[in-house]
Structures are given as structure tokens and as C-alpha cells.
Structure 1
């Protein structure tokens, strides 16, 4: 709605009608007046201001984390395995052990994030993982490589759960997925950027008598160290803690959450407790979402560590294989962003999760069938790799947004998102161990296991949608007037998703 070029009488009627439309319990006339004045262009300017200060910082850091996490695949085809004397499945073991501390420390990290200044806590993590990555350029064998991977997992564990939680603190539920998609798009771009960067850095091989693959680790570690030191001055901690928002704009942001039913005038209605922690970890909705997250994690981890090798085994030399990783990741980035936009526009998560899974299923079936005759089907197999990224990259933003949308209380949402990502990342153990070197380039086990996981995810997604739909049907059968007579507005918010008025996002 635009409020320009109308006379005062008409404006008064519009404002009166608008105030009636937002006359929710707990809203004052002043609250409604602020919402009216920020409806349209003025409100969009505030949202753009938030986007400008928050998203580029988080996206760049997520790009750095994925570059640093996945550059082992690039280093491998530049000679790392031979120089370190890795044999058998030692590369797979080193890749997998990253995820052990990564999974363990995600929930503790988000608990610390809630109790401290987020920008300082994330800054510490970013600087630490950059130092560890640079140290990987000096590893001498399997043991030192494994130790570095374990420490890298500890340092990176809290970043993405923390970033997702921060996004949910700034945007109401119907605007979350496209923002998370922008973050996850950065991880897709990192895949493309990592290949291009590795291609350039590898040409430094011999400089200072240091191998090219070692330079990949050293240089890609120094960047997050430098950026992490500046993070406390760049990352906004919350709407009430920044100077680039006026007090009225800060109030407008709070009112948007209240209008969406995500909080009351008293806040989001929960406190940390051990029973709440246990209840969150056993919540059936989150456990089903964990299965969906595993469908993202397993193929994503597999491609992150093996895509350069897979393309290399299709018959392309190492340098060309690095460059050929760029188009798949670019297409994944576009897919993630477009899916997020549509999901927020329609306020419906399910179709934008199950459809990418179906695309991914088709791609893995193609790879499984065509790998029987690599020489004849190089081009279709490369197309299938691109198709797989189109299916993979919309998943985690959609699953994270769907889960976050259905956890209205602040502490439960923080822990629930961390638990979702931590438990979902157990799929990475599968992804990094089913693409076996001795099966290259056919990878029968890798493609077969991935197909089974994707089918499980499609079924799980449909089950979650059905039960949320049934719960909403029951809630809508209870008259709203009856509920409001029985409970105060603050009590309804304190009840969270158990409130009869709370409708789950489908």
C-alpha cells in the first residue's frame, strides 16, 4: 500500500481502517499508528537497511567457512595425497572426522551465543578456524592432517547455527527463507569460487619451495583471520543494539514480530532450562526435520569432497576439473535463491523442499545408470552433476526456515535450529564415506546409498506436512473467542506452539 498523494481526509480513513485491521490484543493505537506509517515504502527502507548491514557479513563468512571446509577436495587433485603419503581410506577418514566435533559443539555454541554478545563469540570462532586452516598448510602426514581437521570442526561448529538464529531475530517468519537462501547461496558460490581460487593458487606451487596445495590452505586461512578481527565492528548483535536504527524503527521491527504472532509485548515467552533442552531434542517435528537435513548433508558432503575427483575421473585433467566445478555450484546458488524467494512469497515451505529432492533423485539415478559407460555419457553425467546441485542447495535454507518458523519461542528456536543442524550433519558421515576411491569413476555404492537417502527424505517430508496440516485443522476448530477468553495474550505467547491460536507453517 502506498500512502503518497492522498488528501488528509482520505489518509485519516485509511489509517482508521488500518488500525482496525491490526487491532490485536496488546496493541495500542500508537503501535497501530507506527505500523500504518511504515506500511509500504518507509517500511521497506528499514528492511533494506537491515539486509545491507546483516546479510553481506554473514554471507561472506559462510562463504569463507565453506571454502575452508571443502578445499581438501581441491588440494587432493593437486597432489596432497601423494605428498602426505595417504593410503586406502585415510582421506575419507580425515574428511569425516571434521564432522565429529562439528556436530557435538553446535548446541553448546548457540547456548553461549544467547548468553553473550554474538559478534564477539562469532569473531572468536572465525579467527580460530582461519588459524587452523593456515596451519593445515604445514601438515606432514595423516596424523597432523587429522588433528587439524578435528580442530577445524570445533571452530566452525557454531557459525551456521548462530547465523540462522541471528536471521530469525531480525526477520518475521514469512521473510526468513529468502534470507537464509542468500547465506546458503554463498556456500554454493564458495564451491565455484573454491575451484577457481584453487586453480589460481595451485599455480603458485614452488614459490618459497611450498607446494601449490599447501598454498591453498595457507592463503584461504589468512582471509577469515583478517575479517574475523573486524567482525565485532561489522556484525549487528540485535535490533536494540545498533545506532543505524532510530528508536521508532527499532519499535517497528518489534511490532512486525508481534503482528506475525511471533512474540508479545513482553518478549518471546521462554527461558533456558534442562527440561526445555531435552524436550526440544525429542520434539517429533525437529526429529523429522533432522531426517530432511540428512538428505541435504549426505550428498552435499559427498560432492564437496569428491566433485573435483568425480569430474577428474570423467577424463578431465586436474586444472580443468577445478574450473568445471564452477557451473554446478553457480546453478545451485541460483536455485537456492529462487526457491527461497518463492517459498517466502507463498508462505509455504513443503513444495520448495520436496521438489528439489525430486530433482536430486533424478540426478542421482542418472549418475548411477550412466556411470556404467563413462566414455559414452560424459556430457550427460556432467549435466546430472549440475542437476544435483540445483536440487541440493535449496534444501537447507528451506528446512532451517520451516523448523525455525514452527519454533516461536526464542530459546527453543535457538537450541532447535542448532540440534537440527547438528543431528542432520550426521548425514555427512555417510556422504564422505560412500564414494570410495577404488570404485571410481562408477561409485556404485555412493550413488546407490544417496538414492536411498533421498527417497527416505521425500517420504519424511510428506509425513511432516500431513501431520502439521492435521494439527492446524484441530487448532482452527477451536473458536478464537473461546481461546482469548481463557488465556491472556502473554500467556498465549508463553505457550508457544501449544497455543490454540498458533498455526504451524506448512
Structure 2
């Protein structure tokens, strides 16, 4: 076989480069064949404008991104290659421009959700004549609507994210500001319910949204960056509340009203930037160049079996059904439920708990910040190590047990307070808040990541998050009622309950770990029959994705992260 050289037309030489253009098609015609040369079909011509010094072909040109999308089934050699350095640069861009902005949005949402605890001791309970039961209903109303609207996680797949997220941010910002105008319990409970609707539409779906930009082994740290905004928001809320109470104590507006207004209005402003800055997909990220956008799309397509994705624009309901009948989805959901009992209660009750330790309102606002700042650092370290080692369950079990033990010590110190000096049991209770909060914040991060780790299709990830939140967000219905005023100042029952549920998290994580390890042993036993090779070691199990009608049909390999 030989190549046929075509003389290009005069227009073919009209280029900014001084190097002539040469067409080098691949022809199946032999030298002995007669007749005029036939122009090869479109796609078999390669335009070359540069050659290396040795005369070898140097095809470093890139196809356009649109062309790549039009030919999803073409050979891999037709796609441009990318280097590890390029990929690393893209991930860093996503970290700086996407994850940091989403973390800011979550900080604002958690700030507007949890600042009611600071407002309570800043005068809200007295001005609105709220009983302990009414305050608990204010907390519960938020989570009732938060649960009912968990299905909106799937909206990330149906509505352009930059429109959807910006509307959510603007919505909760306006509602948070309107809380400053409340004059009765009924008005405030309605606003808290509306706040739950707006935040349910945003926060639970963000880990799924991030899975569109990051590979599985990169996701825990990015979820950690996002979730860590929650303890940071709690720390910031306490510090800001301390400043507001100090500065507006004698002002024309009650400090708690100023608190709601100052902490809610920034969300309305940031919503405008969300519309502009949030990308809908890796290929539309404004902070990436054309080449980087193409590589960002390619790296995500290569990280999962292609046959699990339906044609572009089609919603894969089969993956949703598979997720609904998978027991692992419900193990993760009940882990999330148990962890949420503590996650939903401590941030809103800690200022009150510290006040009941004997500190003033202003001092309690200040002392509420350090435990959450400590949790912020621990969450980031845990998520980073978890991604680096590609393990979830060991760190999840460890943090759940540490948090459970800390809650238990707080409960026991309150139960045996008569046998301890006042200074001793106060110090023990306060110091144990640090590992308790760091434990459940870290556990929440790992549970959310682990839930999506073992899903391939986007719809499967979204459905798993929806199941996890629908069941898991019922935990706050219990958590928001753990610290009634009748249990003050020790709150033994609430602390013991949190200790129990964090221990349940550790047990369920161990059960899920055993299930995945058994799956690995089963696959190893059938490895020869299913024609499968081990792709990794440690705590990963390999399964074949594919197979139809009972026939051996090896298509792709998927690796569980344990």
C-alpha cells in the first residue's frame, strides 16, 4: 500500500505560515491499479503545517471539541492526548474557581440556617416570648421542608446549574433577611419552613454536581472543602454574633434582628455572581481555555464506562431504578440519618449549652467559635488523607467512635457532676465538644462521598444522594429536640443520644465495609471465569460492568472504594 499525494489548490497555500500544506491521505489502492486517483473520504486527510527536524510526522494538532462530540464512538487515536501536568492544572483551576465558590455559598447557607442559635441567646426568645417547645419547632420546621424537597437534587440534571444555583441562593438570602422582620412565632416558623425549601434545593445536590467535575479518587477532598464550610460558618456565626451583640446592644434595632439582616443580605448579592461564575459542565467552565475545557471533558469520560451513559440529552431511568433496589444505598442513608442527629443539634444548641455552663451570653458567643474552627481543620485533613489512600470506611469508623466517646464523656460528667469540682466538669464538657464536633462533621463528609463512590452513571449518583437525604434528613427531626430546657444545664439525655447514634454510624460503616469486601472475594473466586484482572490492591474490589442475558460479556471494569 502506498500513500497518494494530492496537489493542493492555490487556496491551500494561503496560510500565515511559510510552510506549505501537504495532504497525506491513507489509501487502500495498490500501485498497479489504474484509473484516476479517487479523493479519499472526509476524515482521512490530515493537514500538516509543521514537521520536526527529522522529517517524522509531528501531529500535535487538536480536533475541535464540537468534532469530538459528534464522533463519540471514534477510535481513541482521533482524540487529542493530554498530560498529567495538564490534568493537574485543570484540577487546581476547579479547586480555586469552582469548589471555593461553592464552599462560600454553603457557608452562607449554613450561616443562615444555624444563626438562630445565636439569635436565641441574643434576645430573640425574650422578644418573641418563645417557649422551649416553640424554639424546637422553629428548628424542626426547617427540616420538615428540607426533607420534603430533597427530590430537587435531581434538578441539577434537568436545569442548567448556573440558573438553578443562583435562584436557590437568592431565595434563601431573601428569606433569611425577612426573619429580621418577624414579630411572632407563627411568622418566624413560616419563614424557617421557606428557608428549608430554598436550602434543600441547593446543598444536598452539590456533591453530585461536583462529581461531574472530579474523578472518584479526587472527590472526598473536594467534598471536604465544601462541607468544611459548615463548621467554618458556625465558627464565623459565633464570632460575628459576638461582634453584633457588643456593637448593637444599645442600638435602635434589637441585636438578634441585626444578626439576621447582616448575615442574610450577602447571599442576595452573591446570587448575582453565582449566575455568572457557575459553569454548567467541565466543557463550559469560563476559567478554562479551549484546550483545557476539552481535556476536562475527556478526563471525566475516560474515568467511567461509557456504556452506562445514555445518549446525550437522555435521562437514564434504569440507573435510578438500580439505585433504588440496592441495599448499599440504604445503609449509607441510615448512616447519614444517625450522623445527622448530632450534625443538626450541636451547631444550633452549642451557644445555649455553653451559657448553661455558667458563662455570659457574650462570652458564650465567643466560646462557640473555636470547636467549629477545629472541626474545619480536621475535616480537610481527613478528606485529603482519605482521597490519597482511596479509603473511606477506616476514617469514617474512627471519627464516629471518637465522636461517640466524646458525647458519652460529656453525658457522664454531667451525670456524676456532684463528684467533680465545678471547674473540672465544666472544662471536661467544653473540651469534649471539640472531638465531638470534628467527628460528626468528618463523618458527614465521608458518608456523602462514599455514597457516590460506587455509582457510575450521573443519574445513579443523583439518585443515591436523593435517597441518602430523604432518609438521612429525618435525623434532624430528632436532633432538634434533644436539648429541651427541662434538661438544663447538663443535657445528659441529649448527649447520650448523640453518643448512641454516632456509635450506630460506626456499626453501619463496618457492615457496608464487610459487604464490599465479600464482593471482592466473590469476584476473585470467579476471576478466571469472568476474564478479569486485578487492577489495584489494598481495599478495592473489582467488578465487571456489563453482561447480558447470562452470557459472559466483559465490557468495562469498575472498582469499589472501601
Q: TM-score, normalised by structure 1?
A: 0.87
Distance change (3 Å), C-alpha of 1:434 and 1:278 = farther
Distance 2:180 2:294 in 1: 49
For residue 501 of structure 1, report the CA deviation from its aligned partner: 2.9
Alignment correspondent of 1:114: 157
For residue 385 of structure 1, report the CA deviation from its aligned partner: 0.6
Farther off after superposition, 95-104 or 418-427: 418-427
Q: Does 1:264 align with 2:306?
A: yes
Distance change (3 Å), C-alpha of 1:143 and 1:274 = farther
Alignment correspondent of 1:299: 342
Alignment correspondent of 2:515: 467
Q: What secondary structure does 1:433 align onto?
A: coil
Across the two proteins, how many residue pairs are aligned to each other? 472
Distance 1:354 1:28 in 2: 41
Alignment correspondent of 2:470: 422
Distance 1:275 1:42 in 2: 35
For residue 67 of structure 1, report the CA deviation from its aligned partner: 0.5
Cα-to-partner distance string for 1:61-107 (whole Å, 9 max, x where unaligned): 00001100000100011111111011241101110110011111122
Q: Is the 2:245–2:255 Cα contact (8 Å) retained in structure 1?
A: yes
Alignment correspondent of 1:504: 560
Alignment correspondent of 2:538: none
Distance change (3 Å), C-alpha of 1:263 and 1:208 = farther
Q: What secondary structure does 2:192 align onto?
A: helix
Alignment correspondent of 2:112: 68
Alignment correspondent of 1:353: 396
Alignment correspondent of 2:330: 287
Alignment correspondent of 1:404: 452
Q: Does 1:132 align with 2:187?
A: no
Alignment correspondent of 2:498: 450
Q: Which residue, out of 130, 149, 161, partners 1:86?
A: 130
Distance 2:474 2:124 in 1: 26
Alignment correspondent of 2:540: none
Distance 1:64 1:241 in 2: 25
Q: Is the 1:276–1:412 Cα contact (8 Å) retained in structure 2?
A: yes
Distance 1:397 1:99 in 2: 19
Q: Which residue, out of 220, 223, 230, partners 1:180?
A: 223
Alignment correspondent of 1:434: 482
Distance 2:547 2:292 in 1: 26
Structure with more of its chain in strand, by fraction? 2
Cα-to-partner distance string for 1:131-155 (whole Å, 9 max, x where unaligned): 1111100111111111011000001
Unaligned stretches of 5+ residues in structure 1: 1-7, 13-24
For residue 186 of structure 1, report the CA deviation from its aligned partner: 0.9
User: Which has the higher Rg, Structure 1 or Structure 2?
Assistant: 2
Distance change (3 Å), C-alpha of 1:219 and 1:282 = farther
Give the CA RMSD over aligned residues.
Answer: 2.7
Alignment correspondent of 1:22: none
Q: What secondary structure does 2:455 align onto?
A: coil
Q: What secondary structure does 1:502 align onto?
A: strand
Cα-to-partner distance string for 1:318-343 (whole Å, 9 max, x where unaligned): 11111111110011011100000010
Alignment correspondent of 2:411: 368
Report which structure shows greater RCO (CA 8 Å, sep ≥6): 1
Alignment correspondent of 1:191: 234
Q: Which residue, out of 222, 226, 236, partners 2:269?
A: 226
Alignment correspondent of 1:148: 191
For residue 258 of structure 1, report the CA deviation from its aligned partner: 4.3
Cα-to-partner distance string for 1:30-53 (whole Å, 9 max, x where unaligned): 55x714xx12x3321121112122
For residue 268 of structure 1, report the CA deviation from its aligned partner: 6.5
Q: What secondary structure does 1:429 align onto?
A: helix
Distance change (3 Å), C-alpha of 1:477 and 1:56 = same
Distance change (3 Å), C-alpha of 1:396 and 1:499 = farther
Alignment correspondent of 2:365: 322
Distance change (3 Å), C-alpha of 1:255 and 1:229 = closer
Q: Does 1:34 align with 2:115?
A: no
Unaligned stretches of 5+ residues in structure 2: 1-52, 58-72, 533-543
Q: What secondary structure does 2:392 align onto?
A: coil
Distance change (3 Å), C-alpha of 1:473 and 1:249 = farther
Distance 1:272 1:477 in 2: 35
For residue 204 of structure 1, report the CA deviation from its aligned partner: 4.3
Distance change (3 Å), C-alpha of 1:26 and 1:342 = farther
Distance change (3 Å), C-alpha of 1:470 and 1:27 = farther
